[in-house]
Amino acid sequence: MRIGVLGAAGIVPSALVKPARGNAEVEVAAIAARDPRRAAEFAAKHGIPKVHTTYDELLADPSLDAVYNPTPNGLHGRWTLAALEAGKHVLCEKPFTANADEATTVARAAAASGLVVMEAFHYRYHPFALRMEEILASGELGTVLHVETAMSFPLPSFSDIRYSLPLAGGAMMDAGCYTVHMARVLAASTPTVVSASAKLRSPGVDRAMTASLRFPTGATGRVRCSLWSSDVIRIAARVTCTRGELRAINPLSPQFWHRLSVRGPGGRRVERFTHRPSYDYQLDAFANAVLRDGPVSTPPEDAIETMTVVDGIYRAAGLEPRVPTP
308 and 100 Cβ atoms separated by less than 8 Å: yes
Q: In 98-173, which residue ranges form alpha helices assigned H by DSSP?
A: 100-113, 127-138, 171
Beta pairing partners, 177: none
User: Which long-range CB contacts under 8 A does 252-258 form with residues at least 24 apart?
Assistant: 252/123, 252/151, 252/178, 252/182, 252/278, 253/123, 253/278, 254/123, 254/126, 254/128, 254/278, 258/128
Task: Reply yes or no: is the peptide bond before residue 95 cis, omega within 30 of 0.
Answer: yes
Question: In angstroms, what is the C-alpha Rg of the chain?
Answer: 19
DSSP string, 284-324: HHHHHHHHH----SS-HHHHHHHHHHHHHHHHHTT-PPP--
Task: For residue 58, give the nearest of 105, 113, 2 by alpha carbon.
Answer: 2
Catalytic residue among 45, 50, 88, 94: 94
Distance CA 118, CA 269 (A): 34
Residue 18 annotated in active site = no
Task: For residue 2, give the nearest of 16, 11, 10, 13 by alpha carbon.
Answer: 16
In this structure, how many other beta carbons lie within 10 angstroms of the beta carbon of residue 311? 20
HSE of 311, CA atoms in CB hemisphere, 13 A? 17
Catalytic residues: 94
